[in-house]
Amino acid sequence: MGKLDGKVAIITGAAQGMGAAHAKLFVREGAKVVITDIKEAEGEALAKSLGENTLFIKHNVASAADWDNVVAQTKAKFGRIDILVNNAGITFAKRLQDISEDDYLKIFQINQLGTFLGLKAVAKEMVAQHSGSIVNISSLNGLVGGAVGYTDTKFAVRGMTKAAALELAPSGVRVNSVHPGVIETPMISQPGTEEAVKQFAKAIPLRRIAKPEEVSKLVLFVASDDASYATGSEFVVDGGMSAQ
């Protein structure tokens, strides 16, 4: 028996990296999973590999209309929405002096606006059924400083989580945030970041970069009924970085 038997989950940014790892684990644990991403070929391939209990939808998380489409297609295919994992996110390996206004707005639109629109899109459905679990993927940089733009939005996701948790709790809907540290994903494998990541790993108390699957196990717990009394909380998986 899986931890998510009978549950329907939407996972954004799930064509690769952490999102793909979350989708694979959720399917193994019995969930029906809607994978969304702007990367159509990768998303379609992943959904096909995971079988009939998955659906891929091309999705710009910064578009309210796209969110309406995701909700409608999810309900048409699987009948309900039990879990949302707001996983989609981006950053740029640029200093404050080098990041442009367009760069900053793009990070805001995906990381912060996208999370807000996701919360808003599924809240109505979850409140109506008086149950649901929303997991917002923030970051270690939602707790401590980091790159401008990315850090700003991840702090906002943390605050948004707490505000939504308080509003939705009387309706039986839980909202929590997960704060990964440095994870082995395409986001940290941008050109020019290899040496910085290698050096940063030496400062991690556990002395290594995490695998995406290590975050997925925590996301599974938070999303599932095992965390039934947790809402408005921060779950940190950073190898001990925030303890320093």
Catalytic: 104? no
Give the tens place of pLDDT for each residue, 25-70: 999 999 999 999 999 999 999 999 999 999 999 999 999 999 999 9
In a domain, residue 36? The reply is yes
In a domain, residue 163? The reply is yes
In a domain, residue 243? The reply is no
Residue 43, strand partner residues: none
| Single pTM value for the model | 0.95
How many domains would you assign to the chain? Answer: 1
In a domain, residue 188? The reply is yes
- 190 compared with 81, residue with greater pLDDT: 81
Here the tokens at position 138 are 């923030």
Range of the domain at 71: 8-228
In a domain, residue 31? The reply is yes
Position 187 confidence tier, pLDDT thresholds 50, 70, 90: low
Predicted confidence at residue 188, as pLDDT, reads 67
Predicted confidence at residue 136, as pLDDT, reads 99
Predicted confidence at residue 189, as pLDDT, reads 65
In a domain, residue 3? The reply is no
In a domain, residue 47? The reply is yes
Q: What percent of the chain has pLDDT over 70?
A: 97
Predicted confidence at residue 181, as pLDDT, reads 94
Position 127 confidence tier, pLDDT thresholds 50, 70, 90: very high
H or E stretch including 179? strand 173-180
Q: 5, exposed or middle or buried, with CB in 10 Å at 0-12, 13-18, 19+?
A: exposed
What's the CATH code of the domain at 73?
Answer: 3.40.50.720
Predicted confidence at residue 191, as pLDDT, reads 67
Alpha helices in the chain (DSSP H): 17-28, 40-50, 64-78, 101-107, 114-129, 150-168, 194-201, 212-223
Predicted confidence at residue 217, as pLDDT, reads 98
Q: Which of 56, 67, 150, 155 is catalytic?
A: 150
In a domain, residue 241? The reply is no
Predicted confidence at residue 93, as pLDDT, reads 79
